[in-house]
A and B are shown apart, each in its own frame.
Chain A
Amino acid sequence: DSGVTQTPKHLITATGQRVTLRCSPRSGDLSVYWYQQSLDQGLQFLIQYYNGEERAKGNILERFSAQQFPDLHSELNLSSLELGDSALYFCASKGPNYGYTFGSGTRLTVV
């Protein structure tokens, strides 16, 4: 157990639908990062939050949005889903030192 909790583990939904992925960082970590990993691909950075505020943005589609709540958990919202959005979505948290720790991911399948 890495200490980073992601739910749900699996999600199957239809095209055009909207889903929410949830991440709870390690205790004490203020930063949360979201990454997308398509089949047999690398990890693409989507967005970072620090203590409730957006701090860095990557190749995140306009259909996607995220937020970090006062209790530091984060949610990634994916809307108007397309087949190509099927992927593993990872959340990572980072403490005051350098280390990034990943959660177990949410596997999203859009049918």
Chain B
Amino acid sequence: GENVEQHPSTLSVQEGDSAVIKCTYSDSASNYFPWYKQELGKRPQLIIDIRSNVGEKKDQRIAVTLNKTAKHFSLHITETQPEDSAVYFCAASIGTGTASKLTFGTGTRLQVTL
């Protein structure tokens, strides 16, 4: 089955700096790669996603890049703010039909310090 590895497990940056989180996946059939932000005790919330036919996607301060050949994708957050502090999960999904599932990475705890 699919395996998703995520690095680093913790990341501390100063406010205003950039943060980068990297993930690799094992199954070349994966075709959808979302990123979720989870605050303590709350539900994971989708912040950005990318499909396998796109190499890069940006939404304001957040961007995701995908390298299908190397089977890795990354989350980039620019101009970080204290409210960006949370746990971030990458995920990979196989299938768009009725039998797809998300496999998650192990998470990155991002702390933005003043």
Residues of chain A touching chain B, judged by Cβ–Cβ distance below 8 Å, are 2, 30-31, 33, 41-43, 45, 48, 50-51, 55-56, 58, 88, 90, 92, 94, 98-105, 107
Nearest CB of chain B from residue A103's CB, rounded to whole Å: 6
What size tier do the contact residues of chain B reach?
20 to 34
Contact B93 A98 (CB under 8 A): yes
Nearest CB of chain A from residue B50's CB, rounded to whole Å: 10
Residue of A nearest to B102 (CB): A100
A-B contacts, 15 listed (Cβ < 8 Å) = A2-B43, A30-B98, A42-B105, A45-B101, A51-B98, A55-B99, A56-B100, A90-B43, A98-B49, A98-B96, A99-B49, A100-B34, A105-B42, A105-B43, A107-B41
Q: Compute how far the CA of A100 lies from the CA of B44 in the bound complex, rounded to whole angstroms.
A: 10
Is the contact region of chain A dominated by helix, strand, or loop, or is it mixed?
A: strand
Q: Which 10 residue pairs of A and B lie closest in terms of their CB atoms, listed nearest first?
A: A55-B99, A50-B98, A102-B43, A43-B104, A42-B106, A98-B32, A56-B101, A104-B43, A102-B44, A42-B104
Contact A48 B107 (CB under 8 A): no
Nearest CB of chain A from residue B8's CB, rounded to whole Å: 14
